[in-house]
Amino acid sequence: MIKIYHNPRCRKSREGLALVEASGQPYEIVHYLKTVPTKQELEKIIHQLGIKPMDLVRTQEAIWKSEYKGKDLTEDMILVALSTYPKLIERPIVLRGQKGVVGRPPEKISEFLDN
């Protein structure tokens, strides 16, 4: 089953969800701003994506700029920041099996679902 971490207020996330829906495969939507992933869940997601925690951060968000930018942060500190401020999590995230992709640009989702 596909799992999509989704923010309905984000255009790119809505585009990503439309691609998941169009695939015809079963899926689950996680509204991550309401159901905030724990640090442990984020560790698993990052492992599935094959990226570093920093690669999942929306660095243009005001909270990042005011609280974290320019600081020497460990991966653990970044994960805590993401679980504390889920608005910092890049979106959409699409997972299937042991793999996943961040849908920016949304075409990455199509490529991922086709494989």
- Give the pLDDT score at 115: 83
State how many domains the chain has.
Answer: 1
Catalytic residue among 2, 3, 7, 10: 10
- Give the pLDDT score at 73: 97
- Any idea what the CATH number is for the domain that residue 44 is in? 3.40.30.10
Q: For the chain, what is the total number of helices (H) and then of strands (E)? A: 5, 4
Give the domain extent around 52.
2-114
Active-site residue, 61 included: no
Question: pTM for this one?
Answer: 0.94
Give 94-101 contacts, CB < 8 A, sequence gap 24+.
Answer: 94/2, 94/3, 94/4, 94/5, 94/16, 94/20, 95/2, 95/3, 95/4, 95/5, 95/45, 95/48, 96/1, 96/2, 96/3, 96/25, 98/48, 99/48, 99/50, 100/45, 100/48, 100/49, 101/49
Residues of the chain short of pLDDT 70, as ranges, are none
- Give the pLDDT score at 75: 97
